[in-house]
Amino acid sequence: MTKTLLARLLGPLTLALLALTFGLGLWVTPPDQVQGNLVRLVYVHPALAWVALYVSFGTATIASVLYLWRRTRSATLDRIGACAMEVSVVFIALTLITGSLWGRPTWGVWWAWDARLTSTAILGVFALAYLALRRALDDDETRARRSAVFAIIAAINVPIIHFSVLWWKTLHQGATVFTANRTLLIHGSQAWTLLVSFVAFTLSFVWLLRARYRLEVTRDQSRQRDFNEALAQRRREGARP
């Protein structure tokens, strides 16, 4: 009952929070001292990057680790890992696109080959490679095991992306929220709107993941039904004199 109610509320709640983010970001929050109205992209881009790198890629990695651990190994975890990685591709692409749209008027260039941008692009390629790997393998167990190992190896890039702005000199700015001394470098209503955006985009990930997972389950069931039917047909053919 509670589960159904939560599932039903997830979509409307996500849309409401996204609408609230855009409302606050476009009309309520003030412009920035330096960036003026360009600052409004801060309510979209960092939240997308948060979901892409930590939430979705993190979910795929945790699901992969749990799949490889014999005690928790299940087809459900393999499905969650694959679905989270697919959603991750979408969010990484949106992160790169919004970053580029923000970079042109602020930096003056659409793209810079600095450590943060390049390592994020590499993560996107890793996510695509994960999906290609899954399509290349026929056996369910082999596919699940190899893609889980690949996801864990690819996840090494996530802390590199996170710390790139600290380890190396980049054109990309440093951390605003997750600073080394825990000091929030954004003020007043801007900070609250940023928080709302993080919650909104995280919920949108959960919503998308749930929808994608249900589609995968339906596809698996359909595949199993087709397989059973084909097997029954072969048996009938084999039984003919």
Contact positions toward other proteins, by CB under 8 A? 29-36, 38-39, 42, 105-109, 112-115, 117-119, 121-122, 125-126, 128-129, 132-133, 135-136, 138, 168-171, 173-176, 179, 185-190, 234-240
The CB-of-222 to other proteins minimum distance in angstroms stands at 17
Give the Å distances, CA to CA, from 160 to 115, 154, 196. 9, 11, 26
Tokens coding 45? 């881009």
The CB-of-179 to other proteins minimum distance in angstroms stands at 8
Q: Rounded to the nearest 5°, which phi and psi values hold at 36?
A: 60, -135
The CB-of-86 to other proteins minimum distance in angstroms stands at 15
HSE of 230 in the Cβ direction (CA atoms, 13 Å)?
6
Euclidean distance between CA atoms 119 and 167, whole angstroms: 13
CB 177 within 8 A of CB 30: no
Whose Cβ is closer to other proteins: residue 23's or residue 174's?
A: 174
Whose Cβ is closer to other proteins: residue 15's or residue 128's?
A: 128
The CB-of-59 to other proteins minimum distance in angstroms stands at 22
Whose Cβ is closer to other proteins: residue 195's or residue 211's?
A: 195
Whose Cβ is closer to other proteins: residue 8's or residue 234's?
A: 234
The CB-of-240 to other proteins minimum distance in angstroms stands at 7
Contacts 24+ apart (CB under 8 A), 29-33: 29/189, 29/190, 29/193, 30/189, 30/190, 32/190
Whose Cβ is closer to other proteins: residue 69's or residue 178's?
A: 178
Burial of residue 8 (number of CB atoms within 10 Å: 0-12, 13-18, 19+): exposed
